[in-house]
Structure 1
């Protein structure tokens, strides 16, 4: 398991290739890359977190995924700081012997990161700055788990 909270950009291709170097038993790798959307004239997003607390929370949800599905590995990378539209904001990767477990665990992790991970996001657009509030559809997605 590899959980990283960082301000620096990451190379999705390199991270995916490294993660996909299987152990000979892994039959499925699922990766997801989240990008900052520039919709509504968004010029930038600022993401804050509490160091230590955030990493522990992400490690716990990765452990929870490993307890629910037979995973051979998990990767979570989430950025903080100032991000521009089009930049990678987060990555999730899961590995398992079978694709269903890898897909379901990846979806579980993404739903958690979207709605419960301890990050605070502020969007800056033509009308000023606004904190991002929880969305009903994100909460609905999380309830299925």
Structure 2
């Protein structure tokens, strides 16, 4: 199996977990894993319930996302499909989807973890949190 990035997208469209898993399917893959980050109804910094998140991305974010995925694909000989959604997302919507296939499970888990941790550290995507009472707060500014 040779590592490859088959999807690396920043998109306003809803994310399809099955399409990401299908994209990494490979006859040499003995393991597939995935991660789905969803909008939740609470946040430790929120005074009340969270109703939605509005994601905004830097124009270079997609290139950064591809570079993150390429590093993990090379390090773990993995096929990777990853997308981050932008725009307004409601509670329950998928904000990030990562699918990984490798020859063995340890590499699949490691590659998936590397991708999400690097996204959190490096990807220029910011979110505006909207609470039930209309209060808003920007998150992810300044690391």
TM-score of the superposed pair, with normalisation by structure 1: 0.83
Structure 1 unaligned blocks of 5 or more: 140-145
CA-CA distance at 1:19 after TM superposition: 2.9
Deviations, residues 4-28 of structure 1 (Å, cap 9, x unaligned): 1100102223432x13532x21111
1:38 corresponds to 2:41: yes
SS in 2 for 1:43: strand
SS in 2 for 1:26: coil
Residue in 2 aligned with 1:62? 69
Q: CA RMSD in A?
A: 1.9
For residues 1-145 of structure 1, the aligned pairs below 5 Å read: 1=5, 2-16=7-21, 18-19=22-23, 21-22=25-26, 24-39=27-42, 40-51=48-59, 53-71=60-78, 73-125=79-131, 126=133, 128-133=135-140
Moved segments of 4+, more than 3 Å = none
More helix by share: 1
Alpha-carbon distance between aligned partners in 2 of 1:20 and 1:65, rounded to the nearest angstrom: 14
Structure 2 unaligned blocks of 5 or more: 43-47
